[in-house]
Amino acid sequence: MGIFKKKQVAESVDFSALPQHIAIILDGNGRWAKRRGLPRTAGHAVGSETFRKVATYCNDIGIKYLTVYAFSTENWKRPVEEVDTIMSLLEKYILEAIDEVRKKNLILKFWGSRDGLSERIKKLMDESEKESADMTGMQVNVCLNYGSRNEITNAVRLIAADVSEGRMKIEDITEAEIEKRLYSAGTPAPDLLIRPGGEMRLSNYLLWQTAYSEFVFSDKLWPDFDERELDRAIIEYQKRNRRFGGI
Ligand code: IPE
Ligand code: IPE
Ligand code: MG
């Protein structure tokens, strides 16, 4: 009886010690659909709804930053119909998000390269970022056409240009100067990184930023992910001892 009680206490989220920044790799949509005999695209549609639900929950409990991996620089390798469906879903959700930004005081940002994206989606991205300018609530970073190697390569190029044009000296290249040139500039590093879908890899996500993040993997496919599963990840996070190289 005593043990049971103790376990119950340990299994609830401590809302006074939440991670301030949660990053999630939205993975498992295709497999979710295949298991149901549906086309992969059906999984993306349900996965988008899961994102809405989980983002709302994060906002309700007071998470400050939520960063999600929606489309990678490598995802262009997929069949064109699948890429098109993902892009249409993103368009639909960005359009709706513009309203949410106003209603819920959200800051919406996009991390990733704009190269290769349609004019329509780029316009919506600009609009929602503009709408976010005066907001002060939860910041949602959507990683779209994002690849961490691409992000770091861009930062290196920008620094090389600054050095070669005399605006910067080699001695001035610091970690902070690199960070300033990443999409994540100004955002604290993720405390907790969650990957649903069963794979245990980063897949080119936030390689620089997750140097000291706590990783939690979940076997649940993203469309099956929910508030309870997020709670479980936070509980797991709260059991970790973060040392950052110290003792
Ligand atoms: C994640 O789900 C969404 C994107 C990568 C765009 P997947 O489409 O990768 O689903 P699985 O991993 O194949 O099941
Ligand atoms: C990572 O998932 C990218 C996104 C979730 C957007 P992938 O499904 O593309 O990763 P791999 O191929 O399993 O490594
Ligand atoms: Mg996948």
Over range 79-107, report the average pLDDT. 97
| Distance (Å, whole) CA 80 – CA 87 | 10
pLDDT in tens, 124-171: 999 999 999 999 999 999 999 999 999 999 999 999 999 999 999 999
Say what the pLDDT of residue 46 is: 98
Secondary element (H or E) of residue 245 = none
Q: Which ligand is nearest to the CA of 29?
A: 1
pLDDT in tens, 7-65: 555 589 999 999 999 999 999 999 999 999 999 999 999 999 999 999 999 999 999 99
Q: How many domains does the chain have?
A: 1
> Is 103 part of any domain?
yes
Q: What is the DSSP string of 170-202?
A: GGG--HHHHHHTSTTTTSPPPSEEEE-SS--S-
> Is 9 part of any domain?
no
For ligand 2, the distance from its centroid to the CA atom of residue 142, given in whole angstroms, is 14
- Host domain of residue 202: 16-239
CA distances for 58 relative to 67, 94, 122, 156, 166, angstroms: 11, 18, 26, 34, 44
- 9, amino acid identity: V
> Is 56 part of any domain?
yes
Q: Whose CA is nearest to atom 3 of ligand 1?
A: 27
Ligand 2 atom at shortest distance from the alpha carbon of 199: 13
Say what the pLDDT of residue 3 is: 56
Say what the pLDDT of residue 49 is: 97
Say what the pLDDT of residue 6 is: 52
| Distance (Å, whole) CA 176 – CA 116 | 29
- Active site (catalytic) residues: 27, 75
Say what the pLDDT of residue 11 is: 87
Kindly list the protein residues that place their beta carbon closer than 5 angstroms to ligand 3, a single-atom ion.
Answer: 27
Q: Whose CA is nearest to atom 9 of ligand 2?
A: 75
For ligand 2, the distance from its centroid to the CA atom of residue 62, given in whole angstroms, is 28
> Is 11 part of any domain?
no
For residue 5, pLDDT over 70 is answered with no
The predicted model scores a pTM of 0.96
For residue 2, pLDDT over 70 is answered with no
> Is 200 part of any domain?
yes
For residue 224, pLDDT over 70 is answered with yes
Residue 70 CB–ligand 2 contact under 6 Å: yes
> Is 246 part of any domain?
no
Q: How many CA atoms lie less than 13 Å away from 153 in the CB half-sphere?
A: 8
> Is 57 part of any domain?
yes
Say what the pLDDT of residue 4 is: 58
> Is 5 part of any domain?
no
For ligand 3, the distance from its centroid to the CA atom of residue 91, given in whole angstroms, is 20
**CATH number for position 139:** 3.40.1180.10
pLDDT in tens, 184-202: 999 999 999 999 999 999 9
Say what the pLDDT of residue 196 is: 98
> Which of these, 152, 172, 150, lies nearest to 162 by C-alpha position?
172
For residue 212, pLDDT over 60 is answered with yes
- 31, amino acid identity: R
